[in-house]
Amino acid sequence: MTDDPPAPDSHAPDPHALFESWFAEAMAAEPTLPTAMAVATADAAGRPSVRMVLLKAHDTGFVFYTNLDSRKAGELAAHPVAALLFHWKSLARQVRIEGPIEPVSDAEADAYFASRARDSQLGAWASDQSRPLESRAVFEARFAAARARYEGLAVPRPANWSGFRILPERIEFWQERPYRLHERRLFTRDGGGWREGLLYP
């Protein structure tokens, strides 16, 4: 527990601005993957699952990319809402986000895919994400085949690889305080703006 955690920015005009302030501090302070966030989804029957992904853009929402044949993408197709959690241990902070999702545009997906490391691009072609894998050797052979196929060529984005944007309806900023007297600021979507309140810790 930190003895003197940094105070939240009480002058932020909206939760997106406050998130950007906290995110900038996390980028400077968090030693490993400050962009990491847990994404929780549910299938059509309401059964939940959660996994870690990386935030790739923050604008009107929070963007991540994946194989569209993966379990998470299938669950989002069946139940198009998600919850996110950032945990920045070095700052004793969490941010929780909930809302519906929308697909990113093809232009956004193409631009991000083009920015990835080449081996990551090839891995997207080699992987049937979330599907059973007979052995690691099979995956390595598929990766080698993708590398040979695109030798000397730009690697195109697979048609089944794209991204999602979570459009927040609820954003909670959690700040650790001594003796578990934590501070919880909740922003909820209210028409075209936001309503702010506090929650008991």
Residue located via tokens 């059509």:
44
DSSP 84-144: EEEEEGGGTEEEEEEEEEEEPPHHHHHHHHHHS-HHHHHHHHH--TTS--S-HHHHHHHHH
Contact between residue 87 and residue 54 where contact means Cβ atoms under 8 Å apart: no
Residue 170, sorted as left (phi over 0), alpha (psi -120 to 50) or beta, turns out to be: beta
Residue 137, sorted as left (phi over 0), alpha (psi -120 to 50) or beta, turns out to be: alpha
How far apart, in Å, are the Cα atoms of 47 and each of 2, 37, 50, 86, 101?
36, 20, 11, 22, 18
Helix (H, G, I), strand (E, B) or coil at 25: helix
Q: Is 180 a catalytic residue?
A: yes
Residue located via tokens 């001594």:
178
In the chain, DSSP finds a helix count (H) and a strand count (E) of 5, 10
The one catalytic residue among 96, 116, 165, 180 = 180
* Residue positions annotated with a catalytic role: 180
